[in-house]
Amino acid sequence: MSFALAVASGLLLAFSFPSIGNPVIAWVALAPLLVALHRAPPGRSFLLGLVTGLVYFTGTLYWITQVMAVYGGLATVVAVVINALLIAYLSLFPALFAMVVSRVSLAVGPRGLLAAPFVWVATELGRTYILTGFPWVLLGYSQATNIPVAQLAAIFGVYGLSALVAGVSASLAYVAIRQLTPATGQGTRSLLANYRPLMLMLALVVAIGIWGTFRVRRGDLTRNGDAVTVGLIQGNVDQSDKWDQRRAAGIFRDYLAMTRKAIGEGAQVVLWPESSIPFYFEEDRPAAEEVRTLAREAKVPLLVGSDQIDRSTPPTRYYNSAFLVRPDGSTGAVYRKMHLVPFGEYVPMKRVLFFAKHLVEAVSDFSPGDAAVLLPVRGHLMSTAICYEIVYPDLVRTSASGGSELLSTITNDAWFGRTSAPYQHFAQASMRAIENGRYLVRSANTGISGIVDPYGRVLAQTAIFQQAVVVGEARFIRERTIYSSIGDVFAYASAVLTLATLVILRRRVK
């Protein structure tokens, strides 16, 4: 029965995220697992959490197998094995969560379940940074479209939302366990006490929802700062055509034509997707000059994604970069991607993964950038995140707190195919807008491209695998949210609280 409950939690977690999920499900997702943890010894609890994690991450990261098989040139069985290893690793974090919660519950009784929100956040923080991190589908991201409640991210970030959602599950599990094991002679007052954590948690959710609704309706941030009309280019170039020299000229002409269309519709700055140029921007001078000429003629800055080669010092290094071309045609700034995609832009532990030889050969060996370079646009500063960098909260926050007045992200989600991944990616990007109180503009090769306001509301959004030009208004904003000032203090406090609790319990046992 307990393992069935663990599977149920895994399924509920998986169905909390887009495109097939619903954010409402997330509020009860952890409850079955927490009920199963009641009186379970740490070893069994670890296994229960592991089962939940395996189901959770299989349901949300299944698409990685396709990426490695189709674009990495791996046999399907090898791709499945590598993805299974990643899923197994990520599942260790829910397993650790379960073991810690079980340990606390065994020491203090059902009340120990109420520590679950903080323990869960502590493990999510670990998942963000350990072994370079992979903070995909954090629980708080499930609420990206629940706009009133999602405003909590402006104070505590996505981790605060994770804790809030986990808190409801914890209080539900607490009620269930107390009802299943009532004390002898339990009176009405005791029965009401059983429901007190749930009532307090629901009251907190309602209060946050009311505050969030008021915050969004007031909409101060949408009236602040200077307006700018942004053009987003979605070229819809198939991954197999991207570096086909026979297609390169046509792809480039399409991007130039779509850019002219965006400028014709009033765009004052235009964004191309990640690695959109089918050549090295600094290497192919005639083609690059066409981009620079377009910027000069239109007097519009262009942000273009292109790979970059640095031969200044041996060995030669390759970077996934974004070039800001000024209205005078010069290069205003270059941002080099800092968080590279494992198995996409580099292969970790190459010697260990010797059986993935074809993948190692197929993946470009990129180097990470070392600075969050800001881009000058119309007298203001804009930042950009390339591809899955946008799911790292502190990376984007660092740019906002460092002076970025407009968030941008460029990506190539063609790798994902027609799976849930593009929708997950877009939702996670939207959370950065709320956290930092900034407009976010996103140019994606195959979609989803769009504009998100500082409250997480989607103002424009494209369909996937369609060529599109999006032109819409954003604003340069200087005001800072609480989160952009304090960062992930709540997440680190949760980690400290979790560790302190374990130390105290260990001393009590001695």
CA 463, 465, 469: angle at the middle one, nearest 5? 65
Question: Contact at 8 Å (CB) between 149 and 214?
Answer: no
Do the beta carbons of residue 442 and residue 449 sit within 8 Å?
yes
Residue type, 47: L
Residue type, 5: L
User: Is 223 exposed, middle or buried (CB count within 10 Å of its CB: 0-12, 13-18, 19+)?
Assistant: exposed
User: Which helix (H) or strand (E) element contains residue 458?
Assistant: strand 458-461
Which residues lie below 8 Å from residue 15, measured CB to CB, with a gap of 6+? Answer: 21, 22, 25, 59
The single residue of 124, 345, 387, 389 carrying the catalytic annotation is: 387
Q: How far apart are CA 217 and CA 295, in angstroms?
A: 38
Is 345 in the active site?
A: no
∠ CA(187), CA(191), CA(192), 5° rounding?
Answer: 120
Three-state SS annotation for 154-213: HHHHHHHHHHHHHHHHHHHHHHHHHHHCCCCCCCHHHHHHHHHHHHHHHHHHHHHHHHHH
**In 3D, which of 464, 408, 379 has the Cα closest to residue 270?**
408
> 399 CB contacts (<8 Å, ≥6 apart)?
372, 374, 383, 385, 407
265 flagged as catalytic:
no
Given 124, 274, 389, 405, the catalytic residue: 274
Q: Are 301 and 295 in contact (CB under 8 A)?
A: yes
Q: In what order do the strands lie in the sheet with 331-336?
A: 331-336, 317-325, 302-310, 269-271, 226-234, 468-476
Between CA 150 and CA 481 the distance in angstroms is 14
Q: Is the bond leading into 315 cis (omega within 30 degrees of zero)?
A: yes
Q: Is 329 exposed, middle or buried (0-12, 13-18, 19+ CB in 10 A)?
A: middle
The answer to whether 357 is a known catalytic residue is no
Hey, CA dihedral for 407, 413, 416, 418, is it positive or negative? Answer: positive
Q: Which of 337, 345, 405, 435 is catalytic?
A: 337
Catalytically active residues are 274, 337, 387
